[in-house]
A = this chain, B = another copy of it.
């Protein structure tokens, strides 16, 4: 599958690019700057020499891909999706975006009027097949290609087929189990949970993730 990772020059985007290059998918890293996108692609090819990885501007990346991951900062989400909406129509668009602010008490979720970042993106690109997923994976661990993540990825969408495809996609990452988290409105809980996990990372000096108990591991 041809996967674009917009905002793919950040650690989370790079980590996913490494994992999908390993899985032999075609990966296009998107950035506002095509030069930075190509530099990031070069870095991924350094880790995965066999990988089919290129770097492009966000617009060209979205245009060429079959599936688009939004790994842009919350502050840039609205402008990015508004500009790209025509190119996202009909495609599966996975939002990894987490609306976070950092205060003295630690990281906290920003309350989003539309419900969640994923629902905002859906409103801005109504013909895209929005999916919320991958919020809670450690960028650090994704970037170590042999590391077994040993955690769940919760996937939500109003489009059942898109949800199923992204669940399958997420299980290509070593040690990941996909959980069907229901409609896109559940994205809010997945996004917000990230604030808690980041605060746990600091307190326990670890890279935390979650597992849902009571569901048999496949």
Mark A residues whose CB is within 8 Å of B. Answer: 105-106, 108-109, 111, 138, 150-151, 154, 179-183, 185-186, 188-190, 192-193, 195-197, 199-201, 203-204, 206-215
Contact = CB atoms under 8 A, between A and B. Distances in A.
A200 B213 contact: no
A108 to B, nearest CB: 7
Q: Is the interface of A mostly helix, strand, loop or mixed?
A: mixed
24 contacts: A105-B182, A105-B185, A108-B185, A138-B214, A150-B213, A180-B204, A182-B199, A186-B195, A186-B199, A188-B192, A189-B195, A189-B196, A200-B212, A201-B214, A206-B214, A206-B215, A208-B212, A208-B213, A208-B214, A208-B215, A209-B214, A210-B211, A210-B212, A211-B213
Contacts of A138: 214
